[in-house]
Structure 1
Amino acid sequence: MALEWREFEQIKGKKLLKWQRLLAVEADTGQVFISASLPGDPEYRVWVCASEDGVPTYSYDEHYYVPADWMATVFPSTQPLCELLIRSVA
């Protein structure tokens, strides 16, 4: 599965590192993958949760990325950001 990696701009009120501002779009499905660190939990914990739920995950430069739609459901506090990022690639 081919991924297109993109960097999004800083979001008002958040200080995100460059790797946290990366997202990937799966070419075949259009599914958006975002940094597992965005909920504020350790990214490894978020990755484990995603893996246990059976959703696809990716790693890039030693960081984990999970589906934005999954994150919005499992970590509701991220829903507005996830929806914004999903819309930004449409």
Structure 2
Amino acid sequence: MEWFYLEKQENSKLPEWKRSFAINDDGVVLVPGALAGIPENEVYLCSHFDATPSVENKNHRYFPSKWMAKEFPKSSQLCVLIEQEAERISEKS
């Protein structure tokens, strides 16, 4: 699993961990649960109920971006941006 982050935009207030994402060995992109707009532990409970895997990094939980976008529509725009960046990174490799 490799970790990356989106560059901070001029008007962005997101800390680095909220802009971080991982690409696992299967090519699944994992994004921070905090993007859901609800407490991370609630996102974790939803993922557990759905049997969706998650990863912890630096005291924050990360979930598959496609699952996040589907389950928490507020996160979908950021999930798409992160997926696009992950695709660019994968193409360079």
Same structural fold, with TM-score higher than 0.5 when normalized by the shorter chain: yes
Q: Counterpart in 2 of 1:24? A: 22
After superposition, where does 1:1-90 map in structure 2 within 5 Å?
3-11=1-9, 14-27=12-25, 29-90=26-87
Q: Give per-residue Cα distances to partners, 1:17-46, cap 9 Å, x unaligned.
A: 11111101012x110001000122111111
Deviation of 1:10 after TM superposition, in Å, equals: 2.6
TM-score, with length taken from structure 1: 0.87
- Give the TM-score, by structure 2 length: 0.84
Over alpha carbons, which structure has the higher Rg? 2
Aligned-pair identity in percent equals: 33
Give the helix-richer structure, 1 or 2. Answer: 2
Backbone CA RMSD of aligned residues: 1.4
C-alpha distance in 1, partners of 2:6/2:16? 9
Aligned residues: 87
Measure the CA separation in 2 of the matches of 1:57 and 1:82.
15
Q: Aligned pair in 2 of structure 1 residues 58, 79: CA closer, same or farther (>3 Å)? A: same
Tell me, in whole angstroms, the C-alpha distance in 2 between the residues paired with 1:77 and 1:61: 23
Gaps of 5+ in 1: none
